Amino acid sequence: MSTAQQARSELLETTDEQLEDIVMFADPLVMRGLLYQLTGDEELRTTVKTVRTQVMFAEGAVPASEDDAALIRRKALAFLKSYRDSGAGPIDIGPRDRLEESIRLATGSQPGPEHMAMLIEELGLDPWVRAHQWSKEPDPARLQDFSVTVIGAGYGGLNAAVMLKRAGIPYTHLEKDNGVGGTWFRNRYPGARVDSPSRAYTHVFGANVDLEYPFCPREQNHAYFDWVANEHGIRDKIEFGTEVRALTWDEDLAKWKIDVSGPDGDRTIESNAVITAVGFLCQPNMPNIPGMDTFKGLSWHSSRWPEEVKPDGKRIAVIGTGSTGYQMIPELALTAEHVVVFQKEPSWIFGIPGYRAPYPPQALWLERNLPFHKNFSRLRGVDVTSGWDITTDRDPDYDGDPKAISDFNKQMRDDAIRFLTEKLPDENIRAKMTPDYPVWSHRPVLVDTDYNVLVALNRGNVTLVTDAIAEVNETGIKTVDGQQHEVDIIVYATGFRANDYLFPMRVTGRETTLEQTWSETGTCAYRFCMVHGFPNLWMLHGPNTIGGLAPGPWVELATQFALTCIDRLITTGDGSVDVSERAYRTYMAEVFERQRTKAWSDPRADSYYQGQGGRSSAVMSPYPPDVIFKLMRYPNFDDLERR
Ligand SMILES: Cc1cc2nc3c(=O)[nH]c(=O)nc-3n(C[C@H](O)[C@H](O)[C@H](O)COP(=O)(O)OP(=O)(O)OC[C@H]3O[C@@H](n4cnc5c(N)ncnc54)[C@H](O)[C@@H]3O)c2cc1C
């Protein structure tokens, strides 16, 4: 495990004073883990203390005191000086058997074996650690006869294509849009950016890409996915502008028949296997408000913002206040004449300094000049889900604040209320912006501490409306109190059909449609990717894949799962693999049971996190990273039926 780098000429020219400044911008725990790995300095392990506490809207580790952070910085400074003075040449990652302890020091936690295995992969020291390893050499004729269809070219579909290409498995790649990136191709509204750390928002094979922001705006995310498609030579095989309408399993052929509409009209493709990567926040969820079609101004769903339309000098209505609405409002307010915000329910808001800003130059210097800094930064980003259970579980013995569900949940609530109080002097507005439901029963929103939706609400050109909308009319929006709000543009920031997996494709398996199956069983997928009766079909970002992991491992592990099964089909000559009904139902029952104690099972919130029609949540992961990793990384063929 060694990586050779060129001597770093930039480091050779950096003065002691500059290094002293640079280390002040380092994440102390990134430094702790990395320096321990590179040097084995025992003081980093024995003297430095960490505590686990609230970090953003999750649970994570920080140095126990400023003294602990200062000690790490001193050691970082000493290391950088001595590395520079020794010529800043190639450097090795250090002993493999030290890695687990380095990870424990960087995360301030004691991950169990499965979690540790996952975190080692996530470091990205081996960019192809999640590539498929054949169980045995495949017969070339059988391999060339096999075909996989990948649907979608976002985070998930691009990963599947890269891995299929690498494994030498023939595939067809279909994408209904005219570019790659999915979410980041579509969502072009002002303010669109990630709200999870960007270092952890790449595939493992992209762990070393350069990033300009800790939380990248849309353009940078889109550029990353363009890089994936170009760098890995998969763009030419993508059939853009081609939408899959229906999938029908043909038992005699043991193949899927795939009805597609593309630039050359309609056709049907046959494929042994299908990997769907159609996203869960992809199909707009448009409201049904009387008069919507009579509006004479401009209107669109937030994911269809026409880039040429600028908000400058316009009167804009934003309907909906989830993450998208709250991201968009402060940006619109900067140049619009007026922004009217229509809010049915507020979201919990958490502040983070520098959310909207690029990395400071000192942080970028570290990324360029300190070997493996990107890998350990990525580890810290990934680690935000390690406290998933503490963050989202209801404590049955908790009897404190009725609007909280555990001590930790109460801590997050108090923190969010402090932030509201600090940013919103007007009590009336503050009351309207304070949710009634516990944190995490609805999607929490991360914002910049300095400039954000709350600050924007204090501006003279932003109005918060919480009365229900009665109608849309030719010139604006009327609320039930009779008030008319005249606007030029209406943006429906009303979210996506997150619960309608694979919608609007019609998927017909051995006996019935997927829609019918899920209407009977509830929406679920065995190990997040397979449904009984639908052989040779795997979903990336299928049911219950929000939270627990970052999107990268979700789609990478599901791809690995699919390729392990496809490997079996190719190397054994079997025609199909399906999860048994017993395994599917047993698994589902466990998921539904586990959901009962999660924050999003709280009946007070109303969002796509909640199960539909009183059912258990179809979108949220009830499991923490170690359980997910075990379920996906090691398929259990006793649960799978092959024919
Ligand atoms: C505004 C916004 C911000 C987000 N921010 C974050 C964040 O900060 N952190 C985070 O973890 N997640 C975030 N997400 C979630 C995000 O969707 C995932 O992180 C990730 O991009 C999903 O990748 P995907 O490939 O599964 O789906 P998508 O990116 O949705 O891609 C699906 C692709 O499939 C194509 N497709 C769909 N149906 C068909 C069909 N029938 N035929 C052909 N092609 C089809 C679509 O056109 C699309 O290109 C955000 C989502 C949104 C909408």
DSSP for 40-75? --THHHHT--EEEEEETTEEEEEESSHHHHHHHHHH
Euclidean distance between CA atoms 283 and 445, whole angstroms: 21
Within 10 Å of residue 40's Cβ, how many Cβ atoms?
14
Pocket lining: 190 vs ligand 1, CB cutoff 6 Å? no
Pocket lining: 76 vs ligand 1, CB cutoff 6 Å? no
DSSP for 7-30? --HHHHT--HHHHHHHHTTS-HHH
Pocket lining: 502 vs ligand 1, CB cutoff 6 Å? no
The pLDDT score that the predictor gives to residue 335 is 97
Which residue among 163, 196, 278 is best mutated to probe the pocket of ligand 1, counting the most ligand atoms within 8 A of its Cβ?
Answer: 278
The number of the ligand 1 atom at minimal distance from the alpha carbon of 177 is 47
Task: Take residue 118 and report the two structure tokens written for it.
Answer: 């996952």
Euclidean distance between CA atoms 220 and 529, whole angstroms: 29
Report yes or no: 632 and 527 within 8 Å, Cβ to Cβ: yes
The number of the ligand 1 atom at minimal distance from the alpha carbon of 282 is 30
**Which residues make beta-bridge pairs with 462?**
339
The pLDDT score that the predictor gives to residue 2 is 33
Which domains are delineated in the chain?
Answer: 3-128+361-385 (no CATH), 140-283+498-642 (3.50.50.60), 292-356+405-492 (3.50.50.60)
- For residue 153, the CA-to-ligand 1 centroid distance in Å is 9
Euclidean distance between CA atoms 311 and 10, whole angstroms: 42
- Torsion angle, alpha carbons of 180, 184, 187, 193, to 10: -170
Nearest alpha-carbon partner for 161 in 238, 91, 244: 238
- For residue 619, the CA-to-ligand 1 centroid distance in Å is 14
Nearest alpha-carbon partner for 255 in 271, 275, 276, 274: 271
Pocket lining: 153 vs ligand 1, CB cutoff 6 Å? yes
Within 10 Å of residue 16's Cβ, how many Cβ atoms?
11
- For residue 115, the CA-to-ligand 1 centroid distance in Å is 26
The residues near 33 (Cβ < 8 Å, ≥ 6 apart) are 102, 103, 105, 106, 107, 376, 379
For the chain, 643 residues long, the average pLDDT of each consecutive 10-residue run is 58 97 97 98 95 91 96 97 95 95 96 96 97 97 97 98 98 98 97 96 97 97 98 98 98 98 97 97 95 97 94 97 97 98 96 96 96 97 92 96 96 97 96 96 95 97 98 98 98 94 97 95 95 98 95 97 98 97 96 93 85 83 96 96 95
Task: Take residue 359 and report the two structure tokens written for it.
Answer: 């990395």
The number of the ligand 1 atom at minimal distance from the alpha carbon of 156 is 25
- For residue 85, the CA-to-ligand 1 centroid distance in Å is 47
Euclidean distance between CA atoms 413 and 268, whole angstroms: 52
Which residue among 221, 281, 443, 492 is best mutated to probe the pocket of ligand 1, counting the most ligand atoms within 8 A of its Cβ?
Answer: 281
Euclidean distance between CA atoms 463 and 27, whole angstroms: 38
- For residue 539, the CA-to-ligand 1 centroid distance in Å is 13
- For residue 287, the CA-to-ligand 1 centroid distance in Å is 20
The pLDDT score that the predictor gives to residue 6 is 59
Nearest alpha-carbon partner for 181 in 223, 150, 149, 215: 223
- For residue 156, the CA-to-ligand 1 centroid distance in Å is 8
Which residue among 56, 185, 282, 356 is best mutated to probe the pocket of ligand 1, counting the most ligand atoms within 8 A of its Cβ?
Answer: 282
Please report the sign of the dihedral spanned by the C-alpha atoms of residue 395, residue 398, residue 404, residue 407: negative
The residues near 613 (Cβ < 8 Å, ≥ 6 apart) are none
> Helix, strand or coil for residue 375?
helix
